[in-house]
Structure 1
Amino acid sequence: MDVEVPTRTIVEALVGLDGTVDAGELYEVAAELGMSDQQVRLCVKRLVGEGKFTVEGRGRRAVLRMTPHALRAVEPDVEFLEFMYRQDAGQVTWDGKWHLVAFAVPESQRHARDALRDAIVRLGGAALHGGLYVSPHEWEDLVEGEAAQLGVLPAVTFLSSADLRVGAEVSAARLAARLWPLDEIAARHERLAEVARVRLRRLREGASRVDLLRIAVEVAAEFTRAVEPDPLLPPALLPQPWVGAHARALVASCWAELAARSDRLPALFTVYGETVVP
């Protein structure tokens, strides 16, 4: 199964612990993924123009150096990864409490209102009504931080309740199925599971360093595609067995195999390997 990987994702994924990318290795991995040298050159030029990288040298002998600000922006969220896998392993249980956020930001601050809504959805919130969102997780600090940064915190209300009813529906699991697109979330993880299963088999058969990097980039790209829109609902709210937990376990096995076969992984995969334990 092929994985669509944007050129910029390859560049960012190959950043080492010292913040650099070996251009020769970048071109090799990109070629393995079906990309031309011209595509890579144009991408690097854009990244340099955006202030995310500087370049030392020319062509395949060059070294790309990520700027400190850009490096912080692409660092994996270790707490998020740890929470995800602890919940999958049954080490985090839901207390049955729903956490709600309501906001009434005036039209004069429309940009901030839209940005807050986007942030709430990105954090896994589901809309109950206009301006009212819910999550099963304790997300108050995260939402408060976003609202404060946007300058609209006084317009935000926080509350929690163990008693949530939408219409006549009171079942927590059925409410979750109604509020979040579980079929779409499951479909993305089914694809992730298949990608990880195929790459895990290839890893166990043996691979060159360039092959290892290609596999790592493909798995990381598909993992991001599946996980970023996932609200990470507690198992009590999901159909069981849940394909998301299965897919992420396969990804963890891939990280373990990669770590066992390379002592010089890029920073992104080093963090994954140290954080995620099969």
Structure 2
Amino acid sequence: MTNRPAAEPATPGIGTRTLVFALVREDGTVDAGELYDVAETLGMTDQQVRLCLKRLVAEGRFTQEGRGRKARLRATADPTGAVAPDVEYVRHAYRQDRGLAPWDGSWHLFAFAIPETARQSRDALRDTLLHLGAAPLQGGLYVAAHAIGDLVEAHARHLGVLPSLTRLTSRDLRVGEERDPARLAALLWPLDAIAERYEALAGLAAARLSAPGRPTGTERLRYAIELAAAFTAAMEPDPLLPPELLPRPWPGARARALAARCWEALGDGAPDRGSPRLFRLYGEALDTRPPATLAPARTTDGPDEPPRSG
């Protein structure tokens, strides 16, 4: 961090449960003393934390050894999904920002007509398309700027509705008389709302980078959790349209660049087993080497579960 003063930025709302999940270390444990200290900086009471831990233990998500601030919790499964990044999705965003994943000019279209008797499968397929960054053109017809076809087809197969799915690719998309790619993107996706979320992320990251002195251990954890929550809030609704389709300058690229600098400053070296696993996960996400798969879109879960957030 630098020595320039900065006003306290707007921070995202963080629930007690999310806080517990975010403090899971590499060895799968949460230090209760650390948890209570960070919770206090976020305005949470000890009673809130105790009740949350009681519920999490009762649900079987954690086991607890000891009591109060000397307790240690152990996760029974990976609970970090609420604020953990989808590594390949975030990595693709940074590759786009650096001009490493140019758009080929192709639009990917998906059409389906699934009867009311299979309404649950129809809704699940629609939600998958939206989760993967597609936009509705009209009833049962969606368009994406990325090659998400294999992911959509796999999900349709799992849902048992693959025969109802039609896929095609076109370089000549028109809506009414509009055919300019950038204007089509502004018409089909809520770019203003997405930009506002990135402005909030940029403001938070910039304020943390300009804060005077070095943060204490508790402050470092609080800032990391706030940054992860703001990053998730900005990235979750973002279809990651290619830069060729976005306004210039695009606040998403600036916000992600500031967030990367902030993570580097907060990480303060290689993560160890005493650090929350968030530091390692974001370190992996910011690695922009070519991914093992060509699919830039977020992954989806099985047919009986909703898609995961980014």
For residue 222 of structure 1, what is the aligned residue in structure 2? 230
Q: 2:153 aligns with which of 136, 144, 161?
A: 144
Shift of 1:273: 2.2
Q: 1:261 to 1:71 in 2, by over 3 A?
A: closer
* Amino acid in the other structure paired with 2:277: A
Alignment of 1:1-278 (within 5 A): 1-3=9-11, 4-68=13-77, 70=79, 76-202=85-211, 205-260=213-268, 263-264=271-272, 265-276=275-286
Cα distance in 2 for partners of 1:277, 1:42 equals 38
2:73 match: secondary structure: strand
Shift of 1:55: 2.1
Cα distance in 2 for partners of 1:152, 1:15 equals 39
Cα distance in 2 for partners of 1:56, 1:156 equals 51
2:202 match: secondary structure: helix
Aligned partners of 1:200 and 1:254 also within 8 Å: yes
Cα distance in 1 for partners of 2:180, 2:98 equals 24
Cα distance in 2 for partners of 1:101, 1:79 equals 23
- Spell out, residue by residue over 1:78-135, the C-alpha distance to the aligned partner (whole angstroms, 9 max, x if none): 1112111001111110000001111222111111211221121111110001111111
- Spell out, residue by residue over 1:173-212, the C-alpha distance to the aligned partner (whole angstroms, 9 max, x if none): 000000000110111111111011111223x620111010
Cα distance in 1 for partners of 2:287, 2:268 equals 13
Cα distance in 2 for partners of 1:45, 1:113 equals 38
1:81 match: secondary structure: helix
Shift of 1:74: 6.7
Cα distance in 2 for partners of 1:53, 1:271 equals 21
Aligned partners of 2:18 and 2:82 also within 8 Å: no
Aligned partners of 2:182 and 2:244 also within 8 Å: yes
- Spell out, residue by residue over 1:21-48, the C-alpha distance to the aligned partner (whole angstroms, 9 max, x if none): 1111111101111001111122223333
Q: 1:215 to 1:262 in 2, by over 3 A?
A: farther
Aligned partners of 2:39 and 2:45 also within 8 Å: yes
Aligned partners of 1:29 and 1:213 also within 8 Å: yes
Higher relative contact order (CA 8 A, sep 6+): 2
* Amino acid in the other structure paired with 1:109: A
Q: How many residues align?
A: 277
- Spell out, residue by residue over 1:193-250, the C-alpha distance to the aligned partner (whole angstroms, 9 max, x if none): 1011111223x62011101000000111111011100001000000001100000100
Q: 1:210 to 1:73 in 2, by over 3 A?
A: closer
Percent of aligned pairs sharing the same letter: 58
1:205 match: secondary structure: coil
- Spell out, residue by residue over 1:143-185, the C-alpha distance to the aligned partner (whole angstroms, 9 max, x if none): 1232233232222121111110111000000000000001101
Cα distance in 2 for partners of 1:72, 1:149 equals 23
Q: 1:262 to 1:214 in 2, by over 3 A?
A: farther
Aligned partners of 2:107 and 2:169 also within 8 Å: yes
TM (norm. structure 1) is 0.93
Aligned partners of 1:30 and 1:40 also within 8 Å: yes
Shift of 1:75: 5.0
Gaps of 5+ in 2: 1-8, 289-310
Gaps of 5+ in 1: none
1:68 match: secondary structure: coil
